[in-house]
Structures are given as structure tokens and as C-alpha cells.
Amino acid sequence: MYCNVLAFDPGTNVADWEFSWSPSSEVSDPTAQSVTVAPANTTVYSAVMTAPDGTVYNDEITITVYPEFSVLTSDVSGCSTIGLNLTADVDVSNAMDWLWEPAFGLSNASIQNPQLFEELTQLYTVTATISGLGGASCSNSAEVQVTSIFPELELGPNVVACSEETVIIDPGLPLNYTYEWTTAGEVLPVLEVTNSGTFGVTVTSPEGCENSDAVTVTFTDGPILNLPDSATGCADAGLTLDATPSDLMTGPFGYLWSNGSNSPDATFFESTMALVQVTDAGGCTSSESIWLEVLPSPSFVFPEDTALCFEDYPEATYQLDVPAGYASYQWLNGSSLNTFELEGPGFYSVVVTNDIGCSSERYVSVVDFCSEPFLFVPSAFTPDGDGLNEVLRIEGRNVIQLDFKLYSRWGNLVWEADSIGDYWHGQGPERTHYVQDELYIWQAKYRHFTDPEGQLSPWLQSKGSVRIIR
């Protein structure tokens, strides 16, 4: 601490001032301008400062010294830690702020005695800090060990096993625990099971803590299948069999069909002896064989998805044909003929049935697409304000990329465009004036789609002239 003489008289000579500190025994030099102190208790220090002209100045400061303290705790254990309280105290009377770490499982990590909300074994650290210190850190810590001695009993999920096997139920707890099984007379740490049923156990630790659990064991001779001895179907739709067992309690199941399918169902398109093996959760298997007779369905050629140019050939007739001689025909629009005339783009389907009742369905998607490009540039236009033919507009169809340039007769570029529908008013390149009425030369490069999937053609070129008439 020091007496700030210059705050009172910036031009003074500090050596001409006198200083007196009290209590004199608590400061390093009671007559110095600056002193150091090391108070053991809360102390009020005062200073008397006398100027060369005899003026006396007084001031004092209180330094609060907080006591050293210890945090007092005790470890916690119980059959169950849920609902237990952690306790902490200090050996001084000062008000404290509290912090428990980690906060997991605690009702409130910022109070002196929080409650446990979890079943756990955990080492906690509690820190007590004297309240009101702001950034200071008069604090101390201690540890609290929480121990749950409740037996962690988990017999696991229910078990499916094959007949004549033996299932071992093991709680996995120490040998010095006591075991009481629901099976009469069984008190060993593990239980051997050979019959289906539900088996429970109550386990008691040496401290007297108890826990219970149960597990169901099911013995099977394999999944119960309900497949027919034989089946008949049509080739086009295929013959689908479902091997899902009638008793689902022993699942999940694994499937292996003779056609390679690993699903509960499998579809066959030819006559054959179908085989299936189904395995339950215990690894027990059942097998079945089924004779399948697959009858022939109508077989005929039908167009694949296609594109037709209806716009360029409005008088053309497009027709879908199915061979004659089948028992019936059913088109999507209700027609029952073996031929169908296309009216335009769309989705078309037909179901053909033979004389043994088997059907085949075919369908085709027809899109309207004209692959040939069309680029039209008029030979003249009249920008005279009468509202007719006022602009040079580029027209076309199926032009995807365009590089159009218009030149004066001296070869100067006056306008350019990059898409169908762009138009020119007859202005100069800077749009500051209208060009003269004369002949202009244009050149164009362009690309088009060659199919509906978006395949682009090579660059094509075209050229011509246009005259402005006013």
C-alpha cells in the first residue's frame, strides 16, 4: 500500500512529506510512503500524511482476511444409491458456495447436500468457496466415494434352443452371493436348463442387498412351416411361396431357398422342385420341398419405351400390334383388339390372356420428340413503329446451344444472341442509335438433342442475311 502524494500536489517533492502508519507493528516501515503488510486477521490500517506546509491528510483501509478451512465429507454406500444424500460441511462459520463434480446423477450440483437420482458407483469431488469473493478463490475440496452394492443382475434376453440341448443360465456374480432360483431346490450360482419355461433367481450380496431377474427358455424342434406339397402358377407373374413360420415366438428366422433367395418369400418362373431351409433364433432348422408347376404365359414381342415425332408427321399412323390368336386382350383404355392405334404421347399397356388362363402384361412409354433441329431467321423486318414486324426474332425448335452473330456489310459486329426467342430492335452495339436501313449478314452455330435422354449433337453451322426496311 502507498500514500499517493502526487494526487494532491503534482509539483511537490515527496521527500518533504511525512508519513505515519498504524498499527505500526503490522506494517513494514511505519514512516515510509509505501508499506507492505501480511495480516493474519482482518485489520484496519490508517495512514497520516503531512504536507510541507503542515496540512494533514488521513485515510484508512480495511483488509478482510478469510480463515483457512477444511471440507468435511463421508463416503456413501448402500444396497441402492437412488434417494441417498451426499453430505459436506466446513469447519468455519462463513457462508459457502458449493460445486459437486461430475454433476451426473445429482439432483443439484450447486447445493451443499444434493440427492442421488441414479443407481451408480462414482467418485465425486466437492468444492466449497467462501461466498462473495468475486474473482478470488478462497476454496477447498474433498472427495466422496459413492458405492452401490446392489447386485447388478442381468440374465439377458430370452433364449431359444434346440431340443436335447442344455442351456446354462449364469448371472455372472461372485460365488459368495447367495442364489435362490424359482426351480425348487436350486441354489447354485448357475442353472442348467433342459426344459422350456421361465426361470427366475433372487441374488443376495453379503451385505444383505437383493436383486431379481428372470429369463424364458424355449426348446424347439425347428420352425413350424405351413407350405403346401405342390403349387401351380403362371410363368409371367411367377409362383411366389412364403415360408414364414406359423409360430413367430422363436424368431428371428433365417431363410435359404433353392433359387438363392434369403427372404421369407421366393418367386419361381419355371417348373421345379423348390427347397427351403428355415433357421430359428436358436439355430434349429426345418426344411420343406414343394413341387412347382409353372404354366406358360403368352410370349410376344412388344416395343420398348420409344420417342415419336408427332409434330413433323401429323398424318402418320402409329400402331401397337400383339399377335392374334390369344383368348383375350385388354388395353388400358378398355379396347379388346389385338391392335391399338396411338393418338399421341403417353403410357400404353395391354394384358394378353391365353386359353389356359395365364396372362402377360406389357407396357410402353411413348414421348413426343422430334430430333431434327429447326432454326429460322427472317430475311427482313420493319422497325418503323407501326406495331408489325418490329423486331428481328430468332425462332426455332430443339436448339439447345446457340451462338448467333449479326454483322454489318463492313464486317462489324452489331448484335449477338445465345438462345431461341432473342430479338433485336435494330440498334447499334452500344444501343445509342439505330443502324442504317441496309443488308446485314448473320452466322450461327448451334447444337441440338439427338434423343430424349439429352445426347447432344456436334456443332452445326448456318448463315444468311436480313434487311432492315423502314
Place of cell 424364458: 216
Percent of the chain with pLDDT over 70: 99
- Determine the Cα–Cα distance for residues 140 and 108; give it in Å rounded to an integer: 19
Q: Is the pLDDT of residue 298 over 70?
A: yes
Q: Is the pLDDT of residue 66 over 90?
A: no
The whole-number average pLDDT for the span 43-47 is 95
CATH fold of 374-468 reads: Immunoglobulin-like (2.60.40)
- The three-state secondary structure class of 24 is helix
| Of the candidate ranges 132-136, 164-168, 182-186, 420-424, the one whose mean pLDDT is the lowest | 132-136
The whole-number pLDDT of residue 136 equals 61
Largest Cα–Cα distance in the chain? Answer: 137
End-to-end CA distance of the chain: 100
319-321 and 339-341: which strand pairing?
A: antiparallel
Read off the pLDDT band of 203 (50, 70, 90).
very high
- Determine the Cα–Cα distance for residues 258 and 253; give it in Å rounded to an integer: 17
Within the chain, all domains assigned CATH 2.60.40.1080 are found at 5-63
The whole-number pLDDT of residue 76 equals 95
- Determine the Cα–Cα distance for residues 453 and 456; give it in Å rounded to an integer: 9
Place of cell 444396497: 79
CA 142 to chain CA centroid, nearest Å: 43
Read off the pLDDT band of 135 (50, 70, 90).
low
Contact 275, 288 (CB under 8 A): yes
Residues 340-399: pLDDT tens digits? 999 899 999 999 999 999 999 999 999 998 888 999 999 999 988 888 999 999 999 889
Which CATH class for the 159-220 domain?
A: mainly beta
Number of H helices, E strands in the chain: 0, 36
* φ, ψ for residue 458, nearest 5 deg: -65, 170
The whole-number pLDDT of residue 428 equals 83
CATH of 5-63, one of 1.10.8.60, 2.60.40.420, 2.60.40.1080, 1.10.287.1060: 2.60.40.1080
pTM for this one?
0.54
| Closest to 296 measured CA to CA, from 317, 269, 323 | 269
Residues 219-233: pLDDT tens digits? 999 999 999 999 999
Top pLDDT among 435 and 180 is at 180
Query: E strands, 24-164, where?
Result: 43-50, 56-63, 71-73, 76-78, 88-90, 96-101, 122-130, 139-148, 159-162
Contact 49, 19 (CB under 8 A): yes
User: How high is the mean pLDDT of the chain?
Assistant: 93
The whole-number pLDDT of residue 372 equals 86
| Closest to 87 measured CA to CA, from 57, 119, 51, 114 | 114
The whole-number average pLDDT for the span 163-184 is 94
- Determine the Cα–Cα distance for residues 172 and 189; give it in Å rounded to an integer: 8
Within the chain, all domains assigned CATH 2.60.40.10 are found at 71-148, 159-220, 230-295
Residues 87-130: pLDDT tens digits? 999 999 989 999 999 999 999 999 999 999 998 999 999 999 99
Query: E strands, 371-458, where?
Result: 374-376, 380-381, 392-393, 395-397, 401-407, 413-417, 423-424, 439-447
- Determine the Cα–Cα distance for residues 345 and 70; give it in Å rounded to an integer: 90
- Determine the Cα–Cα distance for residues 275 and 289; give it in Å rounded to an integer: 4
Q: Is the pLDDT of residue 134 over 70?
A: no
Residues 251-265: pLDDT tens digits? 999 999 999 999 999
Q: Which residues contact 184 (CB under 8 A, 6 or more apart)?
A: none
Domain formed by 230-295, architecture: Sandwich (2.60)
Cell of 404: 448467333
CATH superfamily of 71-148: Immunoglobulins (2.60.40.10)
